[in-house]
Amino acid sequence: MLNFRESKLPPSPFLLLRNQLNILENLNEPQIAAVTLPPQHALILAGAGSGKTRVLTTRIAWLISTGQVSPQTILGVTFTNKAAKEMLTRLSAMLPINAKGMWIGTFHGLCNRLLRAHYRDAGLPQLFHILDSADQLATVKRLLKSLNVDDEKFPPRELTWFINAQKEAGLRANAVEAWDNHTRKRVELYAAYEDQCQKEGVVDFAELLLRSYELLSRNEPLRRHYQERFRHILVDEFQDTNKLQYRWLKLLAGGGAALFCVGDDDQSIYAFRGADVGNMRDFEREFKVQNLIRLEQNYRSHGNILDAANAIIKNNPSRLGKNLWTEAGAGEPIRVHESYSDGDEARFIVEEVKALANDGHARAEIALLYRSNAQSRALEHALFNAGLPYRVYGGLRFFERAEIKHALAYLRLIANTNDDTAFARVVNFPTRGIGARSIEQLTDAARAANSSLYAAIPHVSGAGGGKLAAFATLIVKLREAAHLPLPELVEHVLDLSGLRTHYQNEKEGQERLANLDELVNAAAGFVAEEGTVGEEGELSADLIAFLAHASLEAGEHQAGEGDDALQLMTVHSAKGLEFNIVFICGLEEDLFPHENAKSEDQGLEEERRLMYVAVTRARQRLYLCHAQTRMLHGQIRYNPPSRFLDEIPADLLKYLTARAGKAGYAVQDSGSRAYGAVPPAPTFGSAPRPSGSSFRIGQSVTHAKFGLGIIVNAEGSGNDTRVQINFGSAGMKWLALSVAKLEAA
């Protein structure tokens, strides 16, 4: 039978109708309602796993196949090149058209296309070059050097962030308000950067959108041309748009085009990148949207997982609202595991992954999600020791991260000043004015003396030689501290080297600082596991052994592409992905939700949306893990379980360890698997004890005299059990459980 694609004759009305029906095949009722809407503004609330890409693509195919528009009059906006390519591929399969010529792409890609077509009007050379993030940073560094600006007062990365933030807000340098001298200087540098880029004929990513917006704003004939051309504008991931992107869309839709925006306010998790979830409500109000359709049927997860996600997200008061459901059945209960420490949490996960693999589950379909990159270190260490292959998705393994390699390079120089590789990495990091010319002179001197770079420093004269000598003095001071216990030595190096101060000035410095803190934890954990192995001359042998340990973990066990390997990633990196089995790690207050977000309502709402995203990554089985104690920022924390756990109905949960309540632990769930290598969270003593005397480390308790406190340690058993409690202002107290009359808080 001849089909629409194969026919060389004009398609008959029957064939057109049949093709339209084929397009709508396999869509549910809300999806069909969205696809077949009249040419009016519409907001489609597409829940996780509800088929939003299918709806967006099918909407375009429907508009074309019904003769309402030609392909050239459609503008499709996505956030990733992958999504744009997927849409074009699907359209080519659905319709007999060359979809590659359509205006479907990312914001940056479409703006680039517009500026290439109208480069003269935009004030750009025909062959302008686009700076990626590394090129932009190099350009800023070059600018600072040419203007003799102190890059310690104005760190290049921090200035780059400032410039991009202004552009994303739609502000040129002459429109930025400066309230202090430091900001005024940054504005001056922003203006100088703009002049330099214009002179060189280059644009950065933020400039693509801003210049495109400015071009359409000031050039009325050109604006009218594109407003009349694009009659339908379709936007994917609308919840992730920033203010300037929304203004760009409004400008193009100003000629009467129908805006069809697909998004999920419950999955808006990129405020730190400038995304404004408020754009969804603004769009609904400003465009007087009459068509608001909710896609709530989920094709990914089992019912218990969706019910948990719904229960969590309903606590956000400012959402537009929807409720996910599925025809796939309730599925398994959500497993909750409490560990004594973060190390025990990692060991539990390792044992469970082994059991899952033995049961036939592919490791590639198992994901370990965490709120902070620093959490991966304990997990990686346990996986490495167990010989389990894994991949870190969307990031580097712990010992391969730049800030960790910098810190390790300083430690390597303490151990061996002849290590030229380590020397080259940190001789000018953080920056100390040691330029390429000085390094070249040093290299020549080392070659002539047949020595290491460090040993050749006295042979370099002039200003460069003086700065190199200052670096050598720093290394001497660091080596003088080599007798310190390993964790204290690492802490000392991070402070004296200037690494901490350097990263405090970066936009994403908090993440890097957390990783440096975790390096101190790694050193402490290494000493605890391996034991102090004595002295080796003036250097602790612990340092030598730890550096070898770091090299081994960095150099081995990262699975190759296509290997059946466990997937590790932050929750932010997991957006858009899905797995059969998901572990969410570190579900404790101040970690998830993060302590930096809890001080304001909007921050807590975004943390809750992040938890919603994490939960909805799971198809079949979900584990929620938390620990009584965790090393955070170099200190042991006793944070209570995350509030998000309390927001999930109890009938959806299955506890793999005894559940803590106001009177201590309840009986362990009889249906849970016993793990010999990972004991349940401890209770103190096995002999009978008075009612209400079963407590755990990390539990909040009250005392008639000392008030509220947290149990931090215990010893003894039965009626001889003593607990150590931190009562804050009342200090640390050891109390006997048999007489203390403690009550759970």
Closest to 699 measured CA to CA, from 724, 735, 731, 680? 724
| Cβ–Cβ < 8 Å for 372, 569 | no
Q: Is 113 a catalytic residue?
A: no
Q: Which of 617, 619, 621, 696 is catalytic?
A: 617
Strand segments, DSSP code E, in 571-617 are 579-584
594 forms beta bridges with: 590, 591
| Cβ–Cβ < 8 Å for 34, 251 | no
Read off the tokens for 251: 């400008």
Read off the tokens for 633: 């920022």
Alpha carbon distances (Å) from 513 to 406, 409, 517, 597, 603: 12, 17, 6, 17, 21
With tokens 């995203």, the residue in question is: 613
Say how many CA atoms lie within 13 Å of 514 toward its Cβ. 17
Q: Is 267 a catalytic residue?
A: yes
Q: How far is 467 from 460, CA to CA, in rounded Å? A: 10
Read off the tokens for 470: 């200052």
What letter represents residue 346's amino acid? A
Q: Which of 78, 139, 267, 570 is catalytic?
A: 267
Q: Is 52 a catalytic residue?
A: yes
Alpha carbon distances (Å) from 563 to 105, 230, 364, 365, 573: 31, 45, 8, 11, 20
Alpha carbon distances (Å) from 587 to 627, 628, 646: 8, 10, 11
713 dihedral zone (left: phi>0; alpha: psi -120 to 50; beta): beta
For residue 436, the surrounding DSSP H or E stretch is helix 436-449
Q: How far is 427 from 23, CA to CA, in rounded Å? A: 62
Q: How far is 609 from 590, CA to CA, in rounded Å? A: 16
Q: 436 CB contacts (<8 Å, ≥6 apart)?
A: none
SS3 label, residue 263: strand
Q: Is 53 a catalytic residue?
A: yes
Helix 52-65 with 81-94: angle, nearest 10 deg: 40
Strand segments, DSSP code E, in 498-550 are 535-536, 539-540
Alpha carbon distances (Å) from 363 to 353, 356, 391, 476, 607: 8, 8, 10, 47, 28
SS3 label, residue 3: coil
Alpha carbon distances (Å) from 557 to 240, 386, 565, 602, 720: 35, 11, 10, 40, 47
Q: Which of 52, 335, 401, 643 is catalytic?
A: 52
Q: Is 338 a catalytic residue?
A: no
Q: What is the 3-state secondary structure (H, E, C) of 320-377?
A: CCCCCECCCCCCCCEEEEEEEEHHHHHHHHHHHHHHHHHCCCCHHHEEEEECCHHHHH
Q: Is 236 a catalytic residue?
A: yes
Q: Which of 237, 264, 352, 517 is catalytic?
A: 237
Q: How far is 66 from 70, CA to CA, in rounded Å? A: 10
Supply angle C-alpha 665, 671, 675, rounded to 5.
75
Residue 734 backbone phi and psi in degrees, to 5? -100, 125
| Active centre residues (catalytic) | 52-53, 236-237, 267, 617
